[in-house]
Structure 1
Amino acid sequence: MEFQNSSEFPLLRRSHHASKILKSKSVDLNDWVSAQELLLQIPLDSNEVQRFHSYLKDNLSNDNSYFEAWSLFKNFEHEQLEKTTGTARENVKINTKRKNEILSDKYYYMALPEILKEAERINRNVVIYFTGWGHVDSRKLEVSLFNDMQINELLYDKFMFVTLYTDDKTKIENSPSQNEDKGTNMTVGKRGEKIQIHYLGSKKIPAFILLNTRGQLIRSLSKNINKETLRSFLTEE
């Protein structure tokens, strides 16, 4: 109740609402004005949104949601920066199809067995990040963690990275992945919370776990999370 009465709550609620719409809204430049309003509600920098618009004009794909297109756009800008600074690594070559798979949010609605099956298919261990839409400390932490280029490269190039919002009220029966949760009145958030309790015995967020493709816990990170501890978590042998 204290948080709901704070000045930050309306902003976070609008951001959450805009993000959910953009995850399902297909790219349509004829309706750019409404999409732009949603992007600015997240909020994103207006100059960056204009660069995104220019990118969409040259790389239009109606098969992508705005959420997916944004991920591809950021990857494109990163590649351009590497080329400009001469730091591109020729030995790291990921084809366009794989980029779409890695950067899309299709893992979000998967049950754990489906996540592990997909991890086995692409031969990657799984990093699951537990967070919450309404958790202010997580939002502040993410600004530092996920704007770090090295951490992003590790998450998207080395692992299958899955983010689970444990307070998401979306009903499982209304999501793309139904399977074992059908008819249980389970929400996406509760399912994520069950996974976290299974591996960590706790609902405290934010938290990270690393699983192999058989679902065995390799290690976890739930205390003293910062760029240095997360980088160590991702690179420890």
Structure 2
Amino acid sequence: MHHKRFILVLLLLLSKWCHAQTDCDELFAKTFDTDSLNPEKLDSLINDFGQLRHCGLDSLAFEISTGYSMFGLFIIPPIDKPYHKVTYREVFNMIQDYRNSPDYPHIVDIHKATQELKKRQVNLENWAQDRKILEKIPLKSSELDAYHQFLTANDFQDLTYYEAWIAFKSEQKIEESEPIVVQKKPFFVDESVGTSLHNVFERAKEEKKEIVFYFTGWANISSRKLEYKLFKEDWVGSQINERFLFVPLYIDDAELLSELDLNEELDIRFSENAKFNGQKNHNFQKHYLHEKAEIPSFAIIDYEGKLIRYIEKDINKKSFFDFLGISQVPSSSKSD
């Protein structure tokens, strides 16, 4: 009797194992093409890649290969021909081959260093130690020296090294004819609100203020240029803070959604089919503006969630101040 039970349990386990194998076989046989990289389909693609972890791809390799810097290395080259279909097996094999290559440990060090820099606040008193992390990426000594000078010239103590690095690289890309002093992130913002949309509206209700949402991106150069034009003078931030709660939403924020962000109905609503804060922010932007909303753009919304107005094109000082309803503009700020 015990022998029969053992055989039955073994058959059940074998059946489940075979089912799992069949799922992996089906996943490996699936194909995708350049159309799969469209924003509305990219979530599904990433989700499928996540299933590869159950088919032999370890979590660290998955995290590295689906990151912004490495995703194109494994995905874009195989499908650079129009309408060329690629199987998940091909991509899986590429990742596994790369994982077994001599370069992979170096890539792991870079990935871990990058993740650390995303959390570590800028602290020039600890620069000698923090520089060692930056050197793991690796970066040229001359570029690190220039980055250090950039940090010294700007007040970035509220930023992480990763955020400040994006500002540093953005400034380098802006034309030399336009002398930019990149503002610290994000100018005059009370960050105690955090990333929860629920908390934003609760704070606005307590202070009886309307909210100015600034839709932007860390890597968006147009945003950096606009910020310099609009916010380089302190009085602008003071004017906005008197009347509004100013909240920047980065649509390329690659931080994973946390449980804290998903405790309230409002956040859950805009986090549907989203894994990252940036996707939630983009869903929020599209809801209040339109499906093809661009960055940089601004929207004024009251604390009950009613859209007052928004602006996304031809933004300059005059149009922005008109949008905010600011009439008292110092004479030195009347022209762009």
Smaller-chain TM-score bracket: 0.5 to 0.7
Question: Partners of 1:168 and 1:133 in 2: how far apart?
Answer: 7
Match of 2:47 in 1: none
Equivalent residue runs for 1:45-194 within 5 Å: 46-48=152-154, 66-67=157-158, 103-111=189-197, 113-173=198-258, 176-180=260-264, 181=268, 185-194=274-283
**Contact 1:151–1:231, Cα closer than 8 Å, also in 2:** no
Deviations 1:80-104 (A, max 9, x none): xxxxxxxxxxxxxxxxxxxxxx743
Structure 1: distance between partners of 2:299 and 2:278: 17
Contact 2:229 2:317 in 1 (8 A): yes
CA–CA distance in structure 2, aligned partners of residues 153 and 159 of structure 1: 10
CA contact (8 A) 1:129 1:209 kept: yes
CA distance in 1, matches of 2:310, 2:231: 18
C-alpha distance in structure 2 between counterparts of 1:191 and 1:133, whole Å: 15
Q: Distance in 2 between matches of 1:34 and 1:157?
A: 40
CA distance in 2, matches of 1:42, 1:141: 24
Shift of residue 149, structure 1, vs aligned partner = 2.9
Change (3 A) 1:137 1:42: farther
Task: Tell me how far 1:214 sits from its aligned partner.
Answer: 0.4
- 2:323 maps to which of 213, 233, 237: 233
1:139-163, Cα deviation, whole Å (9 max, x unpaired): 1111111113332122223211100
Q: Is the 8 A contact 1:127 1:160 kept in 2?
A: yes
Which residue of 1 is the match for residue 85 of structure 2?
none
Q: 1:187 to 1:211 in 2, by over 3 A?
A: same
Aligned residue-pair number = 171
Distance of 2:251 and 2:225 partners within structure 1: 17
Partner Cα separation in structure 1 for residue 207 and residue 226 of structure 2:
29
Any conservation in 1 of the 2:274–2:280 contact (CA below 8 Å)?
Answer: no
CA distance in 1, matches of 2:153, 2:283: 40
C-alpha offsets along residues 57-92 of structure 1, whole Å, 9 cap, x if unaligned?
xxxxxxxxx317xxxxxxxxxxxxxxxxxxxxxxxx
Letter in 2 for 1:232: D
The reply on whether 1:31 has 2:129 as its aligned counterpart is: no
- Relative to structure 1, the CA distance from residue 28 to residue 189 in structure 2 (aligned partners, 3 Å threshold; closer, same or farther) is closer
RMSD over aligned Cα atoms: 3.7
TM-score of the superposed pair, with normalisation by structure 2: 0.43
Question: Structure 1: any 5+ residue segments left out of the alignment?
Answer: 5-16, 53-65, 69-101
Whole-angstrom distance in 1 between the partners of 2:241 and 2:322? 16
Aligned-partner Cα distance in 1 for 2:302–2:127: 41
Residues 47, 110 of structure 1: alpha-carbon distance in 2 compared, 3 angstrom cutoff = same
Distance 1:150 1:179 in 2: 36
1:131/1:183 CA distance change after superposition, 3 Å: closer
Residue 41 of structure 1: how far off its partner (Å): 3.5
Q: 1:46 to 1:213 in 2, by over 3 A?
A: same
Pick the structure with greater CA Rg: 2
Distance 1:131 1:185, change over 3 A: closer
Match of 2:213, SS state, is: strand
Within the candidate set 179, 183, 197, 2:286 is matched to: 197
- CA distance in structure 2 between the partners assigned to 1:117 and 1:232 by the alignment: 26
Q: Secondary structure at the match of 2:299?
A: strand
Q: 1:29 to 1:140 in 2, by over 3 A?
A: closer
Q: TM-score under structure 1 normalisation?
A: 0.58
What is the Cα deviation at residue 232 of structure 1?
1.3
Determine the C-alpha separation between the residues in 2 that align with 1:158 and 1:43: 36
